Amino acid sequence: MTATPPPPRTIGPITQTDIVRFAGAGGDFNPIHHDPAVARAAGFEQPIAMGQFTAALLAGWLTDSYGVEHLRHFEVRFRSPLRIGDVIDLRGSVVSTDDTSVTLELVATRGDQQLVSGRATLSV
């Protein structure tokens, strides 16, 4: 494995179906993710994606290149909700390496706005 980040990935536009598919897979049935009335009552124009969906997209982008079996640590901080219609960009950069591991900083953005930032350490 080389100590280089994967090439950037663009995902979207995100659909309600994408969000519902993830809800069904993961078991998060908070209605704010699928019920427009509940989302409006919470101050959103329409349902928003769960943070774990964005986290899963970011992790998947990373491990599609490196292999999930090399992942030792993955962390995310949720900064802004992912909305229906969003197109997001996943990018990363290597921040450190040693004889046994590589650590990257990761980010999912919508335009200039960060939705999720994160960090991952993989064994080499």
Partner 1 sequence: MRLLPGTTVDSVLFDVEAGKIREFARASQCSDLVHVDAATAADRGFGSVLATATHVVVAGHHRDQTEFVEKLGMDIRRIVVGSTSWDYTRPVRAGDTLTGVRTVVADENRGTMRLVTLETTYVDVAGEVVVRQREVLIEKGQP
CB of 38 to partner 1, least distance (A): 10
Sequence-ordered alpha helix ranges (H) in the chain? 16-26, 36-41, 51-66
Question: DSSP characters for 45-65?
Answer: SS-B--HHHHHHHHHHHHHHH
Tell me: does residue 33 bind partner 1 (CB under 8 A).
no
Among 26, 93, 97, 113, binds partner 1 (CB under 8 A): 26
Angstrom distance (rounded) from CA 45 to CA 24? 22
Among 55, 102, 107, 108, binds partner 1 (CB under 8 A): 55
Give the residue with the Cβ less far from partner 1, 57 or 102.
57
- Give the interface with partner 1 as residue ranges (CB under 8 A): 11, 18, 21-22, 24-28, 30, 42, 51-53, 55-57, 59-60, 62-64, 67-69, 71-78
